Chains A and B, each alone.
Chain A
Amino acid sequence: MYQFNVYRIGPEIKLGAVDISFTNASLFMVISSLAILIIFNLGAKKKTLIPDKLQLLSELSYSFVAKMISDTAGSKAKPYFSFIFSLFMFVLFCNMFGMIPYAFTVTSHIIVTFVLAAFIFIGVTIIGFMKHGLGYLKLFVPSGVPIVLLPLIVVIEIISYLSRPISLSVRLFANMMAGHTMMKVFGGFVISLGIVGGWLPLSFSVALTGLEILVAFLQAYVFAILTCIYLNDALNLHH
């Protein structure tokens, strides 16, 4: 599991008692953010009627995310477009950079995904209470449920609501970690079976790489679309 190790790069930085040193995880966060900024800045720079490749890429991703938001959360979610766009791009680029051999996968660390998910959870809850006041609590009381079942349903709803950040963060973290671990295991098989039997796990490894790239995209998409769904719950209260 060496690939998931976090280690310090450069000197130890301390803010009071806490260690905020620059690590390989920080390095890949910076690289991902810079890559996003560079690609999209180049894509947005030229204003031609017929876009070139980078412009097309940035405009397609823009309309992709815009469509995703309007499909799941409606037109009220437009002010949150830039946040969801940054979130999707950040997770996607972190996942994709993790696919490069010897690179560090930022999203394979539970703390990173949990902070993102917790931020989304808290933000969505605040938005919900700001929009609907205490009426937001109606989210836990679905309409059309018999009164006898209501206490049970409310408890289940509250538990499911509170487990949202956990499920959201664990889904991304576990998917990324499992994929990389599986690749590592098959890579280990290639070494231990040697030149005689190593071909089979090697071909598996190749196939898994394709699968992992798919998963990297899919998990970023799932992360973003679940954020949209939570946002939809907060904006349009109908259960």
Chain B
Amino acid sequence: MLKKIVILLFVTCFACFNTVFAAESGGMPQLNPEFWISQIFWLIITFGTLFIILTKVILPKISDNLETRKSQILENIETADKQKEESQKKIDEYEKIILDSKLKAKSYFNEAREKILDDINKKRTALEKDLDEEISEVEKELSDLKNKSGEKINKIAAETSAELIKELIGEEVNSSSIAAIVEDQSKIIRERKDV
């Protein structure tokens, strides 16, 4: 079966070749010298023109383009590098400024704090002094009053008791004796209180 197919294929191929090449004869047209001179002539003319125009006009332009592009790119890279450096410098400066200002702010803050603390301390001491003075004054007054009040109370008690006795009995009692009694009583009361 396979053999048959292969043989058939060969036969058809052969037939095809025959039909393809049957109409053509006389060998390759390339070897026919009829138009050789004409081809050489036109080849020289066209290739010569092409060569001259390319050399004189077009290729210099292209190489010029390439050169300018190269130089421009190099220039751009250079300026970019320069600008990068500059910007780096500026960034450094900026950072320095920020650091300085931070330090300054810190010192200002510290100064202000110290000042305020100083102020507060001064005021506090002054206030404490005042307070102490006033307290001592008041204490003095109080002690004065305390000391005086006993006497006064005794006096008042003596007077009232004298009047009371007068009302009750209708006669005058020696005031000094009354005062002595009141003194004794108040002493007893004070002692009780103390106890």
Contacts and interface: CB of A to CB of B under 8 A. Distances in A.
Interface in A177-232: 177, 184-185, 188-189, 192-193, 197
A81 B13 CA distance: 48
A41 interface: yes
A58 B42 CA distance: 26
Interface string A143-173: 0000000000000000000000000000001
Interface stretch (B66-74, B142-150, B167-175, B187-195): B66-74
Contacts of B30: 4, 108-111, 173, 177
Interface residues of A, number: 58
Interface stretch (A25-33, A69-77, A121-129): A25-33
Given A41-B57, A111-B40, A6 B34 contact: yes
A110 B28 CA distance: 11
B135 interface: no
Given A47-B68, A112-B39, A112-B43, A192 B54 contact: no
Contacts of A47: 64-65, 68
B97 interface: no
Given A15-B41, A41-B57, 15 more contacts: A4-B29, A5-B29, A6-B38, A6-B39, A29-B47, A59-B62, A63-B66, A82-B54, A85-B59, A86-B50, A89-B50, A111-B39, A112-B40, A115-B43, A188-B20
Interface of B: 12-13, 15-17, 19-20, 24, 28-32, 34-44, 46-47, 49-51, 53-55, 57-59, 61-66, 68-69, 72
Interface of A: 1-2, 4-6, 8, 15, 18-23, 25-26, 29-30, 32-33, 36-37, 40-41, 43-45, 47, 49, 51, 55, 58-59, 62-63, 81-83, 85-86, 89-90, 106, 108-112, 115-116, 173, 177, 184-185, 188-189, 192-193, 197
